[in-house]
Amino acid sequence: MEHEDPLVTAEWLKENITAPDVRVVDATWFPPFLNMEKTGRQAWSEGHIPGSVYFDIDAIKAGGTDLPHMLPDPVMFSSRVRKLGIGDGNRIIVYDQFKFFASARVWWMLRVMGQKDVKVLDGGLQAWIDAGGELEDLPPVPVERHFTARVRSDLVKDANQVLAASEAGSHTIIDSRSPERFSGDAPEPREGLPSGHIPGSICQPSGELRTPDDRLKSADELRTLFADPMAPTISTCGSGVSAAVTALALARLGNWDVAVYDGSWTEWASDSSRPIAKGAA
């Protein structure tokens, strides 16, 4: 639950995967600017943890916006996850095959929608393989299950709320992008989008939260990266994915109330009326 570690080990999953209330979710997603040869769904279809369903953040998203994978409304979200066999009373374990970017994002989405018993598989699919876990390539046949959405609006922020927090200094605003994009010295991967950062924010790249084998760093290691882990915090990034990795890391340190700026830099920088700071934090 939410006072425990937000991650589980592959060894734990091996021991508990056959429990009737455990649901395993593959959230593999590759940033489009990497031009990967396959999609997350294709990676899942080629080999996944037995029984795992595929959660596509580019499909389970809000409509009516050109911003990528924005959080959908609770009715749409509930409808989609029910069809995946995810519902009330489940213990949900989310993993992915690419540095747990999107598994952290799906962990956050489920928590926004009121799910408390959801965790991330530390090290993702590779950790499962390293632990001797088997793979399958057959899609499961999920049984639809009722999902009750109880939205936690405190875990998601919009542009106006972030602007207010920036001006008032009421929250620590952590930017998960690279230092070069944060400072404005490197271009954004999205054409036409200026680089820089939200005034008053600090840069803590999400990549620095991982070990070389793509596990989340220990609590002791993470504490050295955050000046005040328990401060009211808003996490942001390029499009709201790696920002969730920061929220996951702070949850490991006991701060379960970190909000994610869903539109993140893609939304912020697309409006020329919003202030953009340059230079190092």
Q: CA angle at residue 158 from 203 to 233, to 5 degrees? A: 40
Calpha distance 4→93 (Å, rounded): 14
237 has catalytic annotation: yes
Catalytic residue of the set 84, 86, 127, 237: 237
The two three-digit tokens of residue 15, written as one number: 């021991």
Contacts 24+ apart (CB under 8 A), 158-161: 158/261, 158/262, 158/263, 159/261, 159/263, 159/267, 159/268, 159/271, 159/274, 161/234
Calpha distance 166→35 (Å, rounded): 34
Strands 156-157 and 118-121: unpaired
Of 37, 17, 34, 33, the C-alpha closest to 25 is 17
Q: What are phi and psi of 83, to 5 degrees?
A: -65, -20
Backbone region of residue 164 per phi and psi (left: phi > 0; alpha: psi in -120 to 50; beta: other values) = alpha
Q: Which residues are catalytic?
A: 237
